[in-house]
């Protein structure tokens, strides 16, 4: 499946002209990042799914079965941008530390949730799970810019969740740098998105979207909930209130534990 937000990138050299990452429309912002005009965003919130039909293939949105180019099935108050690749400041990198006696740098799974702000997608929650499937870090995060859409359908994060949050991205980075080392293994699903949100550079990663590839190859990726249903016969992300980062992080760890055990059986 392809995310409906994965629209073809359009080159734009005007810093005050943006392309909405949900509907693809061009819109203007002022110097502080606010939209110049109040303009609703009509888009498909679902993903594009390619299905085989008699005589070939068809690609439809799984939110409403609408075809590519069809009118959006959801209307939001304003356009939004991704923005993460436009701001490459503030990244931190894990570093070498003395290893424990067993030489194990630790194996962790993580998942992040994000909202749309005036500057684009920003972190709102992060969860880290250890190899024993225990939550060792879970916090809501205060975005650096004004929130324009909490993205609750997907993030599960609401305005109330962030109301009294004082934890910043910098605070989260400090915790993760103390928790991880350059030798730690980080597991996640489409992990590049989480590392971008955390502004964290790390080399030893395991991405379940790559370990369990889509039959059509990239850029198609299998959804985490489908991987859990197919391999572990479990239903996740069944909450209408959005995703739960602790559930998703745990799912990634469980999938990799299952994969390692299955591979070990084959090698015997």
Residues lower than pLDDT 50 in the chain:
1-6
> Do 163 and 45 share a structural domain?
no
> Do 93 and 28 share a structural domain?
no
CA distances to 48, 79, 193, 250 from 232, rounded to whole Å, are 25, 38, 24, 12
In the numeric block, the tokens 């916090």 are attached to 139
> Do 142 and 22 share a structural domain?
no
Whole-number pLDDT of residue 42: 93
Whole-number pLDDT of residue 102: 86
The total of structural domains in the chain comes to 2
> Do 127 and 21 share a structural domain?
no
> Do 167 and 62 share a structural domain?
no
> Do 200 and 121 share a structural domain?
yes
Burial class (CB in 10 A: 0-12, 13-18, 19+), 178: exposed
> Do 93 and 75 share a structural domain?
no
Domain, as residue range, for 66: 1-81
User: Which among 81, 114, 140 is the end of a domain?
Assistant: 81
Instruction: Kindly report, residue by residue over 158-185, the tens digit of the pLDDT.
Output: 999 999 999 999 999 999 999 999 999 9
> Do 120 and 47 share a structural domain?
no
């Amino acid at each position: 499946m392809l995310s409906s937000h994965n629209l073809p990138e359009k080159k734009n050299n005007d810093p005050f002209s943006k392309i909405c990452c949900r509907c693809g429309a061009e819109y203007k912002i002022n110097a502080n990042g606010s939209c110049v005009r109040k303009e609703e965003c009509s888009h498909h919130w679902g993903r594009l799914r390619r299905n085989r039909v008699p005589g070939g293939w068809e690609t439809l949105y799984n939110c409403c079965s609408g075809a590519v180019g069809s009118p959006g099935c959801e209307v939001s108050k304003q356009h939004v941008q991704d923005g993460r690749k436009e701001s490459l400041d503030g990244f931190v990198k894990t570093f070498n530390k003395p290893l424990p006696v067993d030489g194990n740098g630790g194996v962790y799974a993580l998942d992040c949730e994000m909202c749309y702000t005036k500057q684009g997608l920003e972190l709102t929650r992060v969860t880290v799970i250890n190899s024993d499937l225990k939550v060792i870090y879970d916090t809501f995060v205060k975005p650096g810019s004004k929130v324009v859409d909490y993205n609750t359908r997907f993030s599960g994060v609401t305005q109330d969740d962030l109301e009294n949050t004082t934890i910043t991205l910098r605070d989260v980075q400090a915790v993760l740098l103390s928790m991880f080392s350059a030798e730690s293994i980080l597991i996640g699903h489409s992990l590049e998105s989480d590392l971008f949100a955390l502004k964290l550079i790390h080399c030893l990663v395991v991405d379940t979207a790559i370990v369990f590839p889509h039959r059509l190859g990239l850029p198609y990726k299998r959804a985490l909930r489908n991987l859990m249903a197919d391999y572990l016969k479990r239903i996740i992300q069944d909450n209408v209130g959005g995703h739960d980062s602790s559930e998703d992080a745990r799912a990634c760890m469980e999938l990799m534990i299952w994969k390692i055990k299955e591979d070990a059986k084959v090698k015997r």
